[in-house]
Amino acid sequence: MDRRGALAPSSSGRRTPEHHRWAWSPAWSRPLSDRSSSSSSSFRSLFRSIGVWFTSLSTTSSMKRRSSKEPAVDVIKKPPLPAPTGKPSARGLYLSSGGGYRNGSGRQQQRPSFQFQSSVFSMDEILRATSNFSPALKVGQGGFGAVYKGVLPDGTTVAVKRAKHRMHNPHVDIEFRSEVKIMARIDHQSLVRFYGYIECGEERIVVVEFVPNGTLRDHLDRCNGRFLDLGTRLDIAIDVAHAVTYLHMYSDHPIIHRDIKSSNILLTHSLRAKVADFGFARLGAGEAAAHVTTQVKGTAGYLDPEYLKTCQLTDRSDVYSFGVLLVELASARRPIEAKREMKERLTARWAMARFIAGASADVLDPHLARTPAAERALEMLLELAFRCMVPVRNDRPAMSECCKALWAIRKTYRDMLAADVTPQPSDLPTGDLWRI
């Protein structure tokens, strides 16, 4: 069910005092000023400790080289071809009941119910779909390789990710097999859908859903599509939180994305978000283990410092990256702003300093309207972001908790817009952010 409908204003003509009107907000979603002084003091002390942690991070040049190598990736079993009955299709299919297929050794393997069944395309199909990899159909370029827009024979528009040759990227096989193995396991409306792949000679190609409206980063830079107002940014944050919660809790095995960032969030024409790019994704630890030990991978600015230090990967590493993404949504700044003065280069650390100083409004994207509703939502959003980025991973909330917190933030924002709350000048504290 889409929760994006606007909330109607109250029919009552009387204004209730603000502290009664917003009293429903749960404790973790209230601003620091609404709590007791001791609680506020403990929060500020925690945020200062996080700030000290950030000072140890600067740029990728400070990252130590790891001598340990990536554990060997399991040899991928090719997904089965579509069922032979009826007209063959190059699109992904779903199995509504358990079935079997044979792996490379010829042994019968049981397939779980509702397993996504992808297609193994031929090179001729892909060449026809992309007009021989026409430069006119190239829509992007990433670390994995180039991305082309294509149309399958049945009219389905797809994105064709063509990997760089191994001489240019020696890790291409690992990323390719990881992406295929992970994407064949998942199905969620806020995750890019997987259609199939090719592994032929030097060619490594992944075929996925085409999402037409560019990346979140493009929109925050105001270079693609409509401007994102704060309400839309909260909707996008909730979409991403739902997707990552699904990966951590509801897929057939926990999955850690490892590369949650704005350039991996694609937007539809209706500005719904879809998480993409599973080249760095890993299966999480089972119930018997607390973490996976692996070579560090990710993007500078989004990397969990504890993972960077210990090489121990957990789902809380995705939570840390999500916290950085929330600050990015609020400020529209990139996680590392190399051209800014030193104290503002690490956006999360700068935002935290402004928050502690009581100047959260400085963090808000200057293109967004500075309304009481926006400033209230900003404070709540930053508080959640900094909870996600605490130095010790066990102190971070689960992604399911982030979803609940974001629902409360969005409801508060919509309710205040509907009520059109406007503070009187005498009610505004001098030199500080107005808090309800």
Please state whether 203 falls in left (phi above 0), alpha (psi between -120 and 50) or beta.
beta
Domain covering 42-56+213-422, topology: Transferase(Phosphotransferase); domain 1 (1.10.510)
The yes-or-no verdict on residue 19 having pLDDT over 70 is no
What is the rounded CA–CA span in Å between residue 363 and residue 354? 7
Of these ranges, 173-182, 196-205, 340-349, the one predicted with the greatest mean pLDDT is 340-349
The larger pLDDT score, comparing residue 436 to residue 353, is at 353
What is the rounded CA–CA span in Å between residue 161 and residue 175? 12
**Which residues are annotated binding-site positions?**
161
What are the start and end residues of each CATH 3.30.200.20 domain in the chain? Answer: 93-209
pLDDT band at 54 (very low <50, low <70, confident <90, very high): low
With 0-12 CB in 10 A as exposed, 13-18 as middle and 19+ as buried, what is 285? middle
Contacts of residue 278, Cβ cutoff 8 Å, sequence gap at least 6: 178, 179, 182, 183, 257
pLDDT tens digits along 241-280: 999 999 999 887 899 999 999 999 999 999 999 999 998 9
What is the rounded CA–CA span in Å between residue 47 and residue 389? 10
**Which residues are annotated binding-site positions for ATP?**
161
pLDDT tens digits along 163-195: 887 655 667 788 888 889 999 889 999 999 999
Helix, strand and coil content of the chain, in percent to the nearest 5, comes to: 40, 15, 45
| pTM of the predicted model as reported, rounded to 2 decimal places | 0.71
End-to-end alpha carbon distance in the chain = 30
How many degrees, rounded to 5, is the angle at CA 310 between CA 306 and CA 312?
Answer: 85
What is the rounded CA–CA span in Å between residue 26 and residue 22? 10
What are the start and end residues of each CATH 1.10.510.10 domain in the chain? Answer: 42-56+213-422
The yes-or-no verdict on residue 306 having pLDDT over 90 is yes
pLDDT tens digits along 120-163: 788 999 999 999 999 999 998 877 889 999 999 889 999 999 98
Mean of all residue pLDDT scores within the chain: 76
pLDDT band at 335 (very low <50, low <70, confident <90, very high): very high
Cα-flanking dihedrals φ and ψ of residue 383, to 5°? -60, -45
**Which one of the listed residues 124, 154, 221, 259 is annotated catalytic?**
259
Q: What is the pLDDT of residue 121?
A: 85
The larger pLDDT score, comparing residue 335 to residue 420, is at 335
Write out the CATH class of domain 93-209: alpha beta
Tell me whether residue 395 is one of the annotated catalytic residues: no
The yes-or-no verdict on residue 419 having pLDDT over 50 is yes
What is the rounded CA–CA span in Å between residue 250 and residue 407? 20
Secondary structure of residue 94 in the 3-state scheme = strand
Contacts of residue 404, Cβ cutoff 8 Å, sequence gap at least 6: none
Section 312-330 average pLDDT: 96
